[in-house]
Amino acid sequence: MKKICSLSALIFLLVLLLCTPAMAAMEYGVIYDETEMLASETLTLQGEKTLPMLSRTLGLDLRVDVLTEINDNGVIDTAEALYENYDYGYGEENEGVSLTIYLEPQDDGTYAMSSSEDWCVYVKLSQERGSSQELANIIRDAVQPCMELQDWDGSDMTASSTALTRAVDAMSVAAEAYILGEPAGSGQETGTEAPEPSDTAEEPGFDITDIEYVMDESGVLSEKEWLELESRAKSISQSHQVGVYFYIVDDYTLYGDGEVYDVTTKIYHGIDLGLGKDRNGIIVLLSMKERDYAMFVYGEFAEYAFDSYGQEKLEEAFLENFGSNDWKTGITHYLDTCDEYLTKAEEGKPVRPAHWPWVLMMTGLSCLVAGTICIVLMRKMKTVHQKSEVDAYIAAGGLSLTDQYDRYTHTTETRVKIEKESSSSESGGGGSGRSGKF
């Protein structure tokens, strides 16, 4: 009995020892923190939204790893091993950037960076897009001010969290500037001032800076599916010069106040969606938290192609798929139907309700009414017989005729002014759309 108890206790201790490393870690999207002490709302936003969205825009995987254990060869070798073994990287070339930070456990339960060399930047970039070493050096120089030892000495983990947040921002800006070929701060170099941020951009969570045609904040699409849909949406938009957008978010209330339709219009105008001088475009927004959705159409030509009837028929093409959580098929149907409707509008044959059923119905109804009236009149007629003598038609008392004359006096003509119908809507005005549940 003692052996059984001893064995059970040993197994329990082994389970605790093996599970502790796995439990002592937190993931904020693409930011991995083994200390579990760096969490913040801003860091979570960076890991779950900012970095993934920027990764898709640049085609470059952006990740951060904060480790409490590394292999014997040091932090650089550990960073490379993580990158290769955990399938980091974007696209076929697995291009990406990782910031790796090593913090040692302290006696008081905190974590500290013991050396200025306990962090590194690892980059994997195809030769067609640039030099991996050059980009790594640029990002390291940008992140260096955020890695001062006084911010990572374990005395204040909140300071370490703030330093990490600044490091993530620095990495993002440097990577974006290198890939897009735009030196950071170019606006200030020419003496021009940066534009003031709009009021809309200050809304909580409303930090979309790189416009995508298909945005999947909730991660319901695989990378391959997203790339395919993004390419298709971009092709349709550029072909018709009408922006065709589809956004999936976790909770639309993070992007502004009001109902889902109000927030959708705010997103559309807040980040200047639409193409051409009239900013023609259509956007569908899905909010996963309460399964809300909205459709918003803006611009004269877009509203011509997608009038109220067209919006209703377009909705029927995809809404059922989302009801069964078939996201890729639903978005594909949405894009294909948009392409079809825009093509018809360009040919001068926009999608409109058919009129011939109404003509047939009104014709049939008219015939029915006329037939009914005839039957009623016929039933009221009495049977008559033709008389053979003329005097049979003379009333009692005889018939007396005097002279009769027809004299023309005047003609009366009446004219009525026909008023034109007034309309409260303006061409390409405030836009239109629909909303509901899916």
In one-letter notation, the amino acid at residue 135 is L
CB environment 50-74: b (16+ within 10 A), e (fewer)? bbbbbbbebebbbbbbbbbebeeee
- Check residue 365 and give its pLDDT: 72
Spans of the chain, pLDDT less than 50: 2-3, 7, 10-23, 183-209, 414-429
**Spatial distance between the Cα atoms of 195 and 201, rounded to a whole number of angstroms:** 12
Q: Between 223-240 and 327-346, two packed helices, what is the crossing angle to 10 degrees?
A: 10
- Give residue-wise pLDDT tens across range 138-170: 999 999 999 999 999 999 998 899 899 889 988
Residues 342, 338: Cα–Cα separation, whole Å: 6
pLDDT at 438: 81
* pLDDT, position 413: 54
User: What pLDDT digit, counting tens, does each position of 188-235 carry?
Assistant: 333 334 334 344 334 444 444 456 899 888 889 988 888 889 989 998
CA dihedral 167, 169, 172, 175 (to 10 degrees): -60
- Note the pLDDT of residue 92: 85
* pLDDT of amino acid 24: 55
pLDDT of residue 359: 53
pLDDT of residue 392: 56
Is the pTM higher than 0.85? The answer reads: no
Share of the chain above pLDDT 90, in %: 39
Q: How high is the pLDDT of residue 271? A: 82
Quote the CA–CA distance of 299 and 429 in Å, as a whole number.
Answer: 7
- Residue 195's pLDDT is what? 38
| pLDDT computed for residue 387 by the predictor | 55
Burial of residue 93 (number of CB atoms within 10 Å: 0-12, 13-18, 19+): middle
* pLDDT value of residue 33: 93
pLDDT on residue 382: 53
pLDDT of the residue at 385:
54
Q: What is the predicted pLDDT for the residue at 222?
A: 87
